[in-house]
Structure 1
Amino acid sequence: MKNFLLIIATSFILFSCSKNDDDIQNVNTSFFNINTGNKWVYNRYAINALGSTSSIIQIDSVLVIGDTLINSISYKKIEHKEFTVNSNNLLQTYYEYLRIDSNDHLVDTNGYVFHPGFDSQYQNVYTHLSSLHLDYNTGNYVQDTWGVSTFQNVAPQNIIVEGQNYFVYDYLGNFVGNSSLGIPNNTIHYMYEEGIGMVLRRCPFVSSASNYYEDRLVSYVIN
């Protein structure tokens, strides 16, 4: 099974803080910055059971396009452009719509928390489901439960990503796999730095306790 654990298919995102009295209309809040024009670029690697890192297998370019209203609530429209590495072909373009709620959490249109910022008390329990597939016994389309993750910030730490030092808040998910499907326990990491955004994301394969994808920040422009 080649699937890896994503909380939400498009949960690549980032963001942090910027306060400037001259630009107060474009400033969002204390930890996150989703100002129009901000841009981040990530390289994706695959790491195997021996700890060997692959060559870059994918590049994600992320841009904050501007504001949009959804159900009378203002969100930022976030554009992702994913490229292959060798041929630099555009694989896909997709969009997210994010805002910062009253708790200073980064959320989507469903209120799902991508990262709680400084908030170390917030906790979320998330059930990971497979994509819809046909159950040949019943003839119905079903989703398997892969497992359940409990997410909460752990103590901030210094890490080095692509040769750069960052001080990150790791929104860590302790994943308990569905033993009846042979899915092992694991951890998921969403590491953000205040004022920069998402620095690193680590998502394990469903079928492996050792193999995972890692998305690493390589460049950014913050307004």
Structure 2
Amino acid sequence: MKNASYLLVLVILTIFSCRKDPSVKIETPNEPSSFDLVTTQGSWWKYDWFKIDSLGNETLTTIKDCVYVVGDTLINGNTFTHLHGDFHIFNSYDWFWRDSAHYIVNQNGQKLYSTIEGIDTLEIIEGTEVNNYFITDGTEYEMTVPAGTFNVYDSELHYSYNNGSPFTNCEDTWVKHTKFANGIGMISTQTGFISQIQTQCSYDESRLTEYYIAP
């Protein structure tokens, strides 16, 4: 029952069809930079989860994540870095990422992060009731978490209803932020239960507490 009410942040990308919006203008720099994706086996990251209420007050929860690099794996002719570990209430989760020029993409070909300067729409996901889209502006800025201060890229996943009704009691659209630092990995992400986000206008946020980058 717990999983049934969980916001489909994790699986919504595989349920709905994807397309690029032809009206979106993509600004590409002359020489886009690449990501420094951590690929070395034995690298690991630890996170604490915080509950953020509608007023922005933070409460440390008992949820803790640990993620590590398993190694490389070949998918559809491309080599991906395989990460395994915890995600929020899930104690066994897998990620498959690779560096593709100025993007990080997953095994489904979906772009997760971009170093392109200027607003870049990474994916548009249309459902029968809910629309979602990824955007990023490719700009680095400083973020401080328990593990330190990092220059991060912010990937935004926007949730809205097709009929125009507000997605939460507080906002028309709910935006999930995920922060990534070059050469380090994911610094922070957000999620929550659908009732928590829509009725309480609160969410959970992970923050990096410790990490090790294997040579």
With structure 1 as the length reference, what TM-score do the two structures score?
Answer: 0.68
| 5+ residue gaps, structure 2 | 14-33
Contact residue 2 and residue 207 of structure 1 kept, 8 A: no
What's 2:188 paired with? 200
Residue identity in the other structure for 1:190: T
Flag the 1:120–1:79 CA change in 2: closer, same or farther, 3 A: same
Q: Deviations over 1:12-55 (max 9, x none)?
A: xxxxxxxxxxxxxxxxx643222222111111222111322233
Which of 190, 201, 214 does residue 210 from structure 1 map onto?
Answer: 201
Which of 145, 154, 157 does residue 170 from structure 1 map onto?
Answer: 154
Q: Deviations over 1:135-162 (max 9, x none)?
A: xxxxxxxxx5333234122532222212
Contact residue 61 and residue 81 of structure 1 kept, 8 A: yes
Residue identity in the other structure for 1:185: T
Larger Rg computed on CA atoms: 1
Flag the 1:128–1:164 CA change in 2: closer, same or farther, 3 A: farther
Superposed, 1:53-202 pairs within 5 Å as 53-81=58-86, 92-101=91-100, 103-116=101-114, 118-121=115-118, 122-127=120-125, 145-153=129-137, 155-162=139-146, 164-179=148-163, 182-183=166-167, 184-202=172-190
Shift, 1:66, TM fit: 0.9
Flag the 1:161–1:154 CA change in 2: closer, same or farther, 3 A: same
Q: Deviations over 1:157-203 (max 9, x none)?
A: 22221272222121234443445664131322111122211111134
| 5+ residue gaps, structure 1 | 11-28, 85-90, 130-143
With structure 2 as the length reference, what TM-score do the two structures score?
Answer: 0.70
Residue identity in the other structure for 2:99: I
Flag the 1:208–1:148 CA change in 2: closer, same or farther, 3 A: farther
Contact residue 45 and residue 212 of structure 2 kept, 8 A: yes
Q: Name the SS for the 2:132 alignment partner.
A: strand
Q: Percent identity among equivalent residues?
A: 20
